[in-house]
Structure 1
Amino acid sequence: MFFLISYEVDLSSYADPETPSRGDHAASSARFIRAEQGWIVTGALNVRNLQEATPQLRQIEDAGDTQLDMSQLDALDTAGAYMLQKLRLKIEASGAEFQFVNLKPDHEALIERVALAMPRPDPVSTSRLSVTDLLERMGRGVVGAGMFLVELIAMLGLFLARLAYLLRHPSEFRMTALVHHCDQVGWKAVPIVALMGFLIGVVLAFQGSVQLRQFGAEIFVVDLIAISILRELGILLTAIIVAGRTASSFTAAIGSMKMREEIDAMRTLAIDPATALFVPRILALLITLPILGAIANVMGLFGGAMMAWIELGISPGMFMTRLLEDTSLDHVIVGFVKAPVFAMIIGVIGCHAGMQVGGNAESLGAQTSAAVVRAIFMVIVADALFSVFFAIMGI
């Protein structure tokens, strides 16, 4: 950044006795006189009279190729040198040539110093990416994704190792932390999960009734609601909601402790961070996510039954009979098998992102956002893999 600090080059000590004093220099304004070879500047060009010289400088900008004779310039400070340098840059930018002539040594040194301090915009790269560059970026992205998966597997292995250790030494297990996290992850998520499940059931029943009524197959709306909620939507949407509120919570809590160097303090006190921080959080998810999934399933069926009753006239008794007769237990099992896997994914990603937080708040915010996005993405990918697997197995 260019800081304009005005100081004046005083040549009074080198001038003749008849040369005006410094005070007279300050008072005399600079004048730009048209000459055969260009322009001649006289007087003093400094911060005190720069405003008066500005209109004359604008006339020179439109003069094309020109020279500025500086032999009669009595005083010059950094403000004047800055304006002269801007004048030269503008004229040269228009394609014309500009030259200082008959510069005094002090004025020349000052103008050169100001020219070196002028701000220069960063060069804009206009080169197009080649095929090699695109392949390099793609390769780096693939390697980065692979390294991220390796780190997640390492975090999962660390959790399993610490869990096995605690099973052998139950006295070191932190039951209070587990109960606390079960309350935060599970109990406080019940309202939003229940509301989500209810609304999903209502939407499925309404949309299903609109489509099935065209074929006189309204009764099959019960099968649509049951299979959609029990097999896919109940546990999947519950996992997405938990990923949004819990993965961010884990990352923010662990990341804040890392920023405040509390994790280093725990290691100093011979407290293993994985045992104290990771195991209670991930274990709480493993316990509560299936329960939340069951709540979402029940509320989804309840909302679907209400809408089927209102829209299609299917009584709750008929809905329940159809549900028990035509819905296989396999759909319920398929949904609940996914719950522990989703819980493990969310917990591992949230704890891993918390340990990646640096020493500033910007890093904490970036890792928190990344944890939510990664957790939701991995949950959807895992659900897709489950769907393919169960389809191949015929379940």
Structure 2
Amino acid sequence: MRGNQAKSDTGARVDLRDDAGKTVVEAHGDWTIDTISRVDTAIRNVETSVEPDMIVVDLTQLGRVDTSGAYMLGRVTRRCGVPDGDFHYLGRHPTARRLIEEVRRRSQVCPPDPPRGFGFVEALERIGSGLEAAFAETIETIAFFGQTITTGLRTLVRPSSFRLTSTIWAMEEVGVNALPIVAVLSFFIGAVVAYMGANLLAEFGFAIFSVELIGISVLREFAVLITAILLAGRSDSAFTASIGAMKMQQEIDAMKVLGLNPFEVLVLPRVVACVLMAPLLTFAAMITGIFGGMLVAWTAQDISPAVFIARLHSELDWSHFWVGMSKAPVFGLVVAIVGCRQGMKVAGDVESLGRRVTASVVQSIFIVIVVEAMFAMMYLELGI
């Protein structure tokens, strides 16, 4: 019975008394993470109701103390201009004061965020902040592109510095491994366009013109656009994740210490791979898209494959093919630049990696759509 009573007395307890106009906080027992919850209310009352200059902490009866207990004791004098002054303490303890000072130095009390309004001025502030961030992002992306071009030109002068093995590996990841999903998706896009032509043109007796509809839409727009979007969602995220993981593990810093240029080792091979493989993927998407449209035209409109291919060859100009192919390297360059840049911007935590992967996919798809619109307007003005 005595042993149980002695054991219960070791828990944290606080007594308050007045001494010459000052409030003395007497700490009793062990102030550890297991026992300090019982004194939290009393400490809060002292912290909010007593001037910090008039508080004295009595350490005479204090037992064991850990960082949580030291934080609790230090809270009562935190608001004072001299929180660690000798006039705040009575008695001696082997570790308490040193631990309280250390915990205070390593902890920072942040004020609550001011309430955010939702008025007209606040809306303008958020819009302005977003535009400023978008402008800064654009400038940084252009600077990253310029540095990549500079690295590429330097590699042309010194071909021995080009990473051929890394480039071939990236070409396999970007091109060969992405070929099935690009082909399947483009096949169904061509089929959907053919179904649209079957339903719309057949009403006017112009079902045969669905051949031109399928050919022009797939060759000029859909094949290269689907390829670019899939590259942005598949390869771009992989670029950001792999480079970002190396950034988190300080492997890129180790490259710099060894005298290696991260742009030569990591960025340039991926850029070259995307620029080279994007036209090949686009060509495969064109073939499968036209094939899907041809099957639907055969089954839904009774246009035989021979008639389909003959009309495609006689009615469509080669310019439609070259318009689509001319966009592919540009889209591949955009995807690679955005993905590598976002990977290089990853900080040292997983949350930053997730944000950068998301930003990489969103930015690359956005830029691809914008560049596609610019190409459309340019070719319209040129009459191509």
TM-score for both structures, normalised by structure 2: 0.72
Please name the residue that 2:331 is paired with. Answer: 342
Secondary structure in structure 2 of the residue aligned to 1:186: helix
> Residue 270 of structure 1: SS of its match in structure 2?
coil
Alpha-carbon deviations, 1:282-328, whole Å to 9, x = none?
A: 00000000000000000000111111000111000000011011111
Q: Find the counterpart in structure 2 of residue 253 from structure 1.
A: 242
1-side partners of 2:317 and 2:275: how far apart? 25
Alpha-carbon distance, 1:365 to partner: 1.1
Amino acid at match of 1:269: L
Could you tell me which residue of structure 1 aligns to residue 33 of structure 2?
none
Structure-2 separation of matches of 1:314 and 1:379: 35
Which residue of structure 2 aligns with residue 314 of structure 1?
303
- C-alpha displacement at 1:280, in angstroms? 0.3
Q: Which residue of 2 aligns with 1:21?
A: none
| Cα 1:7–1:333 shift into 2, 3 Å | same
Structure 1: which amino acid aligns with 2:364?
A
Q: 1:143, 1:283 → 2: CA distance?
A: 31
CA deviations on 1:334-390 (whole Å, 9 max, x unpaired) are 111111110111000001000110001111111011101111111111111111111
Alpha-carbon RMSD across the aligned residues, in angstroms, is 3.0
- 1:128 deviates by 3.6
Matched, 1:213 2:202: yes
Conserved? CA contact 1:267–1:273, under 8 Å: yes
The 2-side partners of 1:261 and 1:211 are apart by 58
Gaps of 5+ in 2: 1-10, 18-35, 46-72, 78-110
Give 1:158 deviation, angstroms. Answer: 1.1
Q: What per-residue deviation string (whole Å, max 9, x for no partner) do you get for residues 173-215 of structure 1? A: 1111111100011000010011011111111111210111111
Residue correspondences, number: 301
Decide whether the 8 Å contact of 1:7 with 1:78 is kept in 2: no
Residue by residue over 1:86-129, the C-alpha shift from the partner in whole angstroms, topping out at 9 and shown as x without a partner, is 9xxxxxxxxxxxxxxxxxxxxxxxxxx9x989xxxx97966644
Q: Where does residue 228 of structure 1 map in the other structure?
A: 217
Pick the structure with greater CA Rg. Answer: 1
Kept after mapping to 1: 8 A contact 2:216/2:320: yes
CA distance in 1 between partners of 2:347 and 2:159 (Å)? 33
Residue 328 of structure 1: aligned partner: 317
Matches of 1:332 and 1:309 in 2, distance apart?
A: 23
8 Å Cα contact 1:8/1:78 also seen in 2: no
Match in the other structure for 2:346: 357
Are 1:371 and 2:340 counterparts?
no
1:326–1:135 CA distance, 2 compared to 1 (3 A): same
Q: 1:81 to 1:359 in 2, by over 3 A?
A: closer
Pick closer, same or farther for the CA change 1:165–1:193 going to 2, 3 Å.
same
Q: Which residues of 2 match residues 155-174 of structure 1 at below 5 A?
A: 155-174=144-163
Letter in 1 for 2:13: Y
Of 255, 267, 273 in structure 2, the residue corresponding to residue 284 of structure 1 is 273
The alpha-carbon deviation at position 134 of structure 1 amounts to 2.7
Q: Distance in 2 between matches of 1:321 and 1:253?
A: 47
Q: Which amino acid aligns with 1:7?
A: R
Judge conservation of contact 2:279–2:328 (CA < 8 Å) in 1.
Answer: yes
Spell out structure 1 runs of 4+ moving beyond 6 A.
122-127
Question: Which residue is equivalent to 2:182?
Answer: 193
Query: Which amino acid letter does the alignment assign opposite residue 353 of structure 1?
Result: Q
- 1:7 alignment partner in structure 2: 13
CA contact (8 A) 1:248 1:350 kept: yes
CA spacing shift, 1:208–1:354, aligned 2, 3 Å: same
Q: Does 1:204 align with 2:193?
A: yes
| Partner Cα distance (1:127, 1:381) in 2 | 33
Distance in 2 (CA, whole Å) between partners of 1:281 and 1:253 is 11
Measure how far apart 1:9 and its partner are: 5.0
Instruction: Pick which of 141-150 and 285-294 moved more.
Output: 141-150
Give the 3 Å change call, closer, same or farther, for CA 277–300 of structure 1 in structure 2: same
Q: Which moved more, 1:130-139 or 1:197-206?
A: 130-139
The amino acid of 1:180's aligned partner reads W
TM-score, length of structure 1 as denominator length: 0.70
Pairwise CA distance, 1:271: 0.5
- Given that residues 243 and 376 in structure 1 are in contact (C-alpha distance below 8 angstroms), is that contact kept between their aligned partners in structure 2? yes
Tell me, in whole angstroms, the C-alpha distance in 2 between the residues paired with 1:299 and 1:275. 35
Cα distance change of structure 1 residues 219 and 369 upon mapping to structure 2, 3 Å threshold: same
> For residues 153 and 39 of structure 2, what CA distance do their matches in structure 1 show?
77
Contact 2:13–2:39 (Cα < 8 Å) also in 1: no
Equivalent residue for 2:290, pick from 289, 296, 301: 301
Cα separation, 1, equivalents of 2:378 and 2:350:
42
Which letter does structure 2 place at the counterpart of 1:142? L
Residue among 380, 384, 394 paired with 2:383: 394
Identical counterparts, % of pairs:
39
Alignment match of 1:264 (pick from 239, 253, 256):
253
Check if 1:182 corresponds to 2:171: yes
- Return the alpha-carbon distance in structure 2 between the equivalents of residues 80 and 378 of structure 1: 58
